[in-house]
Structure 1
Amino acid sequence: MNIFATLQRIGRAFMLPIAVLPMAGILLGVGGAFTSGPLIETYQLTFLQDGTILNRILKLCFNAGLFVFANLPLLFAIGVGIGMANRNKETAALAAVIGFLLYHTVISTVLGFQGLTPDSTSIDALTKAGISPDTAVGLAALYTKELGIFTLQTGVFGGIMCGFLSAYITNRFSEVQLPDYLAFFSGNRLIPVITMIFFIPLGLLMPFIWPPIFKAIVFSGEAFSSMGYIGTFLYGTLMRLLNVFGLHHAIYPLFWYTELGGVMEVGGQVVSGGQKIFFAQLADPETIKFSSEATRTMTGGFLPMMFGLPAAALAMYHCADSKNRSRIKGIFLSAALTSFLTGITEPIEFTFLFVAPVLYGIHAVLEGIAYMLMHILDVAVGITFSRGLIDFTFFGLLQGTEKTSYHWILILGPIYSIIYYFLFKTIILKFNISTPGRNDTDAKLYTRKDFDEKEKSKKPQSKGNKPLIELIVSQLGGIENIKSIDACITRLRVTIHNQSLVTDEASWKAIGAKGIFRSGNAVQIIFGTQAETYKNQIIAKYQIS
């Protein structure tokens, strides 16, 4: 499997645990905002005071959301185990849980042998031992508790590692047949046994190999931070360019959930990763201002997603031929609202990506500038999933300008709309680019009629017509050519045996796809938000494990 296909699989594996974060973040945001003492006092919201029914409900919501962020390493272990397992995914999930607990238990035991305990590794204990305060903070950050187990701070990296190892064990050993006298332990029952064998040595090694790795990761995060605003610009631009290939899912979690995104002490606890820091601060009543250093890999997206791309959709609408405007008005409006409300931008982005890549390049640079501007202006609005009105409301508006400086998004947003509108309109007209509805080309978003026809095609038809999922499988070279199949938000992600059997882009567009990307034995077909549904239908129909 080539590196593109590997990164594609890693990206979709990461998406499984990340999928739980939007709801958890909303519960945390709402619960934290409306149980805030200053907010209750300022607006005289006596019905939300301590002891009231609403206050208790909101605190319940707050704690329900908080537990997710407190246990991200375990969730990543399970999610990566399921995502990277080729088959027997439920067995991989069990192996990930067993392995994760065993891994940290063994580490804790070895640390005990070394005389290291929660008391001896606290900042106070280290400073009393003659270590300088700055060094003591760094050393204390190396240790933590996972599910009550004193262990090394391997965080989400440790969870990902446990997930990969559990998936490898499942893929390698779940089909092994043992002799008759051991037959009970054959197949899936062998996996817990093998898990013990693999994870005990891993736990034994980590106390010796992790400290220098941890320091290297922290150093890399500090190097990224030292790049300042230029680093933020490069991050925003590169993430948007990687989005073309669906590889951004394999990169941004490392900045959001690990030391690469920064390390900060919040409420007496050392927290690693940009998003984790933001939500730790959200949960901390003592936090006066959220850290823009932590949110530098998140906040910048609000300008292009809420304001820029809807304006680009308006520009493409105005550039369409007059006779086609009534036909495309509704679909452009729908795509613009999707971007504004939810931050899901691919319906707009891939519309102009395929007909004018230069527009996508400009969009990527503008997004990088937006990230840099938000960092410069100390704006700190966190997100759970994407950067639309929903996240802006919960993590910007409800938290107030003192904590977030969200007003800059509202000030610069209209300016970004104007820039996107006139840049897109000027380039489209100057170079006569065939955007949807222009020049009578096939470059178009799909109308409600197209959608209805596509829905109809899913059902078995008479006169030889195939359901859509059968067409998809056929155009992938048949079920025998499919090695594995998965989906992210808008893309069907397939690993195939023979690339030459996959049909060309025109064939895919003829059945409703927005486009196709290939690399090695990996294929991505962009279907929009129905991709997950198609994946599930194909797996069910053809019984793909």
Structure 2
Amino acid sequence: MGIFSQESSNHSFFAKAQRFGKSFMLPIAVLPAAGLLLGIGGALSNPNSVKAYPFLDIGWLQNVFAIMASAGNIVFANLAILFAVGIAVGLARTDKGTAGLASVLALLVMNATINALLIITGTLAKDNLAGVGQGMSLGIQTLETGVFGGVVVGLMTYALHKRFNKIELPPFLGFFGGSRFVPIICSFSAIFLGCIMFLVWPHVQKIILGMGGIVDSTGYIGTLIYGFVLRMLGPFGLHHIFYLPFWTTALGGSEVINGQLVEGTQRIFFAQLGDPSTQHYYIGISRFMSGRFITMMFGLIGACLAMYHTARPEKRKVVGGLLLSAALTSFMTGITEPIEFSFLFVAPALYVLHAFFDGCAFMIAHILQITVGQTFSGGCIDLILFGVLQGDAKTNWLYIPMVGIPWFFLYYFSFKFLIQKFNFKTLGREDDEDDMSDAASASEKDGAGYRADLIIEGLGGKDNIVEFDCCATRLRVTVKDSDKVSERLLKESGSRGILSSGNGIQIIYGPQVTVIKNEVEEQLHLE
């Protein structure tokens, strides 16, 4: 396993893309909890569910479910502000609170400006808002810019914050300098942004709808390509940028539900989840979501078993514990990085094959019209909430295990054959004498501080760390000098894999990464 690096400046494309992708994780992090509320509340308060399961027909219990559904729904109805704040806060290097406040003000001002222009031009719709591309956002009738509008506001806020958060004004205006100037300049800039959006967005809506038509016209092959590209972007932490437009904008399709235009596969699914008249969920779910369950719950479990059986007998005990925890994580939650990074660097060909299989899984889900939605990833929890509890008539969820079991053996036999044929150095097959148990238990040797010290030293020391953050499974770090990074020390700390390009470093640990991040920040004395 090695560090892939190349010479580049501190502002390399990879580093910028990594930070941009990381900024999406903040708003995304709230979606699983909101999805659970909406999924459980919506499913169990649905009249059809109550009819099927009479024991649910208890007044106070239905009230609880209704509250849960309402609490979850409000999150998905306000994704624009979540992304505006999340991107501004995620990208800002300092003074993140000001960036978040400024982004809220900017989004309000932008939508209010659009509303005023709709009134002035006499184009403010009185009814059927969906039919003319308008909707309600934060209590304001405006153009339906959705998540794109939030992203644009977040990026604008970040740029203005970076430029003006340390500005010094003349003494008589000194009170408004520095951080206080950022919300002011963002609010004024949002007026111009609102004017631009008013003129441009109707045309953008037409283009997006046209792109959606192109995607539809590619049929099953297009679905395969979607799944393949999505998986190939995973190691670079850029997969969020790729799939979010399909999940949250008109690129993933649009449907009129209860008289409201809903755009984006995930948003359509959750709107239909609360609509008792839904007979079968939106077909786009089968293209952009449902294939994940086949890979994450079955395919990669087969890959784990193949790596276990091809490991050296004397190392199987350690390898078995690592692979079992990774397999359970993938099966239950759909978080796959612990498995994928165990073979990505030592056998890239296996990863390409995995990406192709994943694309095929998406295509099969499309062919079989499997419409099991999800909040974050394709694990057992989401399958139960958004497949089993919704019924096979709406979701065709029974096809998932029917396809998944053969998929398990497809991964198992293909991985086992290739590992043995080409002698890939997967877990337990390494030539070196590194003791894997050391990597797995670094934090147990001398406490959490030992692991944090290893990571800091492996990154070249405190003075070499410029930015330090994490996503769901990996640390995301920007360093001054990548030559000071020690793969040996990072591996000793328990890292599953390391990816570097220029000064942007990603260190994969798995779901416990937030704990590791807190340990390191305590050592660094970061706020």
Instruction: State the distance in 1 between where 2:448 and 2:425 align.
Output: 33
AA at the equivalent of 2:379? G
Q: Which string of whole-angstrom CA distances, capped at 9 and with x for unpartnered residues, describes residues 134-167 of structure 1?
A: xxx4xx2x21110221111110000011111112
2:10 maps to 1:28 = no
AA at the equivalent of 1:472? I
The match for 1:494 is 477
Instruction: State the distance in 2 between where 1:243 and 1:318 align.
Output: 26
SS in 2 for 1:516: strand
**Alignment CA distance shift 1:441-1:267 (3 Å):** farther
What is the TM-score normalised by the length of structure 1? 0.90
2:254 maps to 1:272 = no
The match for 1:158 is 149
Instruction: State the distance in 2 between where 1:159 and 1:450 align.
Output: 41
Matches within 5 A, 1:81-100: 81-100=88-107
Q: CA deviation at 1:396?
A: 0.4
The match for 2:76 is 69
Matches within 5 A, 1:135-534: 137=131, 140=132, 142-438=133-429, 441=432, 447=437, 450-457=439-446, 459=448, 467-503=450-486, 505-534=487-516
Instruction: State the distance in 2 between where 1:202 and 1:418 align.
Output: 53
**Alignment CA distance shift 1:543-1:96 (3 Å):** farther
The match for 1:19 is 29
2:57 maps to 1:48 = yes
**Alignment CA distance shift 1:312-1:173 (3 Å):** same
Bigger Cα displacement from structure 2, 178-187 vs 342-351: 178-187
AA at the equivalent of 1:253? L
Q: CA deviation at 1:469?
A: 2.6
AA at the equivalent of 1:281? Q
Task: Indicate if the aligned counterparts of 1:435 and 1:443 stay in contact, CA closer than 8 A.
Answer: no
Instruction: State the distance in 2 between where 1:260 and 1:149 align.
Output: 24
In percent, how many aligned pairs have the same letter? Answer: 44
List alignment gaps of at least 5 residues for structure 1.
124-136, 461-466
Bigger Cα displacement from structure 2, 9-18 vs 293-302: 293-302
**Alignment CA distance shift 1:507-1:383 (3 Å):** same
Instruction: State the distance in 1 between where 2:501 and 2:358 align.
Output: 26
Instruction: State the distance in 2 between where 1:99 and 1:256 align.
Output: 24
SS in 2 for 1:477: coil
SS in 2 for 1:362: helix
Instruction: State the distance in 1 between where 2:69 and 2:402 align.
Output: 31
Instruction: State the distance in 2 between where 1:164 and 1:539 align.
Output: 27
Q: Which string of whole-angstrom CA distances, capped at 9 and with x for unpartnered residues, describes residues 273-314 of structure 1?
A: 111111111111111100122441111011111011111111
Instruction: State the distance in 2 between where 1:158 and 1:335 align.
Output: 37
Task: Indicate if the aligned counterparts of 1:34 and 1:48 stay in contact, CA closer than 8 A.
Answer: no
Q: CA deviation at 1:530?
A: 3.3
Q: Which string of whole-angstrom CA distances, capped at 9 and with x for unpartnered residues, describes residues 63-87 of structure 1?
A: 1111100011111111111011111
Instruction: State the distance in 1 between where 2:28 and 2:493 align.
Output: 30
SS in 1 for 2:281: coil
Greater relative contact order (Cα < 8 A, sep 6+): 2
Task: Indicate if the aligned counterparts of 2:370 and 2:395 stay in contact, CA closer than 8 A.
Answer: yes
The match for 1:463 is none
Bigger Cα displacement from structure 2, 334-343 vs 89-98: 334-343
SS in 1 for 2:54: coil
AA at the equivalent of 1:425? K
Instruction: State the distance in 1 between where 2:479 and 2:500 align.
Output: 10
Task: Indicate if the aligned counterparts of 1:321 and 1:439 stay in contact, CA closer than 8 A.
Answer: no
Paired positions, count = 517
AA at the equivalent of 2:27? P
The match for 2:5 is none
Q: CA deviation at 1:18?
A: 0.8
Q: Which string of whole-angstrom CA distances, capped at 9 and with x for unpartnered residues, describes residues 482-506 of structure 1?
A: 3322211111112233333333x33
Q: CA deviation at 1:17?
A: 0.5
Q: CA deviation at 1:216?
A: 1.5
What is the TM-score normalised by the length of structure 2? 0.93
Task: Indicate if the aligned counterparts of 2:441 and 2:494 stay in contact, CA closer than 8 A.
Answer: no
Q: CA deviation at 1:522?
A: 1.5
Q: CA deviation at 1:456?
A: 4.1
Q: CA deviation at 1:177?
A: 2.0
Task: Indicate if the aligned counterparts of 1:458 and 1:469 stay in contact, CA closer than 8 A.
Answer: no
Q: CA deviation at 1:323?
A: 2.4
The match for 1:118 is 125
Instruction: State the distance in 1 between where 2:146 and 2:515 align.
Output: 33
**Alignment CA distance shift 1:437-1:542 (3 Å):** closer
SS in 2 for 1:495: strand
**Alignment CA distance shift 1:121-1:33 (3 Å):** closer
